[in-house]
Amino acid sequence: DAGVTQSPTHLIKTRGQQVTLRCSPKSGHDTVSWYQQALGQGPQFIFQYYEEEERQRGNFPDRFSGHQFPNYSSELNVNALLLGDSALYLCASSLSWGGDEQYFGPGTRLTVT
Amino acid sequence: AQKVTQAQTEISVVEKEDVTLDCVYETRDTTYYLFWYKQPPSGELVFLIRRNSFDEQNEISGRYSWNFQKSTSSFNFTITASQVVDSAVYFCALTNDYKLSFGAGTTVTVRA
């Protein structure tokens, strides 16, 4: 049973560029959430996708957008990258009900120079 | 608004000592869920335990145990007889809907 997978593992981008991160949920899960974790801090919620729609969003600007596909996989897009966007981006999958535990992928380390 | 506070930044112990991690939370909701996650150096967050707000029974699972007290809004986590492999950052988290609100984490170092 495959867990949550993310790609790529590492990414280096330049300020102003755009980036797309990908996530495949754990088998049987239909909900995908994205988190940003800056160095030395706890993860911060970006948004959650369920039934191909954004169900809830955290305090992130519109430069952060996402998508969920019919097979429940998801993408996170960040436009006009800033140095402050450098972080570990974590994808988590879960069942649709609110109290279910979220299972995390290994993350994508994004460095913006 | 939800808030999770982990006052301990770092804890260092010698192998076989017990480690207790403190977590205090704030929420206005009556129904919510509390979690503990572990993040080893590899970076992947690993789910450890979940508790809902209606179940204050404290349990033990292997070397892990937790103490949930609604009266003080605390959800503490204990590792008994620590091992070097327990070295990681431990996060307490809270949800009442869909998003997880995490504390800042406590770095646990277990020395051989």
pLDDT of residue B38: 96
What token pair was written down for B102? 């995490």
pLDDT of residue B97: 78
Give CA separation, A64 vs A20, A77, A78, B3, B10, in Å.
10, 6, 5, 23, 32
- Mean of the per-residue pLDDT values of chain A: 94
Does the pLDDT of residue A19 top 90, yes or no? yes
**Residue B7, class by beta-carbon neighbours within 10 Å (0-12 exposed, 13-18 middle, 19+ buried)?**
exposed
Does the pLDDT of residue A70 top 80, yes or no? yes
CB contact under 8 A, A98 and B96: yes
CB contact under 8 A, A98 and B97: yes
pLDDT of residue A81: 98
| A56 closest CB neighbour out of B50, B97, B103 | B97
Identify whether the C-beta of residue A16 lies closer than 8 Å to the C-beta of residue A33: no
pLDDT of residue B78: 95
| B105 closest CB neighbour out of A42, A44, A106 | A42
CB contact under 8 A, B98 and A98: yes
Write out pLDDT tens, residues A82-110: 999 999 999 999 987 667 889 999 999 99
Does the pLDDT of residue A24 top 70, yes or no? yes
Mean pLDDT of A37-47: 95
List the end-to-end C-alpha distance of chain A, in Å, as a whole number.
Answer: 37
| A103 closest CB neighbour out of B47, B95, B104 | B47
List the end-to-end C-alpha distance of chain B, in Å, as a whole number.
Answer: 41
Report how far residue A74's alpha carbon sits from residue A71's, in angstroms, rounded to the nearest whole number.
9
Chain A, 58 to 87: residues with Cβ < 8 Å from chain B are 58
pLDDT band for position B106 (cuts 50, 70, 90)? very high
- Contacts of residue A16, defined as CB under 8 A and 6 or more positions apart, other chains included, come to A80, A81
Report how far residue B102's alpha carbon sits from residue A44's, in angstroms, rounded to the nearest whole number.
7
Q: Compute, in degrees rounded to 10, the torsion defined by CA atoms B46, B65, A28, A7.
A: 0
Mean pLDDT of A50-67: 94
pLDDT band for position A31 (cuts 50, 70, 90)? very high
Write out pLDDT tens, residues B72-100: 999 999 999 999 999 999 999 998 777 89
| B99 closest CB neighbour out of A42, A48, A99 | A48
For tokens 């301990």, the residue is B8
How many CB pairs below 8 A link A and B?
A: 60
Set of chain B residues whose Cβ sits within 8 Å of the Cβ of A45: 99-101
- Write the Ramachandran bin of A29: left for phi over 0, alpha for psi from -120 to 50, otherwise beta: beta
Q: What are the φ/ψ torsions at residue A96 (nearest 5 degrees)?
A: -75, -20
> What is the identity of the amino acid at A34?
W
Report how far residue B20's alpha carbon sits from residue A47's, in angstroms, rounded to the nearest whole number.
32
Write out pLDDT tens, residues B24-77: 999 998 889 999 999 998 889 999 988 888 887 777 788 999 999 999 999 999
